[in-house]
Amino acid sequence: MSDDIFQTSDIAIAAFIMTKGLKLKSCHIEISGKYIFEFEDPSGLGVQYSIDFINSECSQFDNQMKNLRKILKKL
């Protein structure tokens, strides 16, 4: 993978990074079912945006969505 590509398998981080302006280059699902998102990242901001996501309200929102899905699966 070249230095100007940022890759993540976390869909929430991918969505957050898109809102920050990085351009989605490709995405696919591996045979294992894992998502892979690749972004053009010529300035090397992908890692920082990932950290920003973890420290944001967006991350809290994503965690609560996951909790609600778990509750619904138990119904």
Span 13-26, pLDDT tens digits: 999 999 999 999 99
Average pLDDT value for the chain: 95
Confidence band, pLDDT 50/70/90 cuts, at residue 2: low
pTM for this model (two decimals): 0.85
Burial 25-43 (b: 16+ CB within 10 A, else e): eeeeeeeeeeeebbbebee
Question: Mean of the pLDDT values across residues 65-70?
Answer: 95
Q: Which domains does the chain have, with CATH numbers?
A: 5-74 (3.30.70)
Classify residue 50 by burial, with Cβ atoms within 10 Å: 0-12, 13-18, 19+: middle
Q: How many CB atoms lie within 10 A of CB 59?
A: 15
Distance between CA 6 and CA 14 in Å, rounded? 10
CB of 32 within 8 A of CB of 72? no
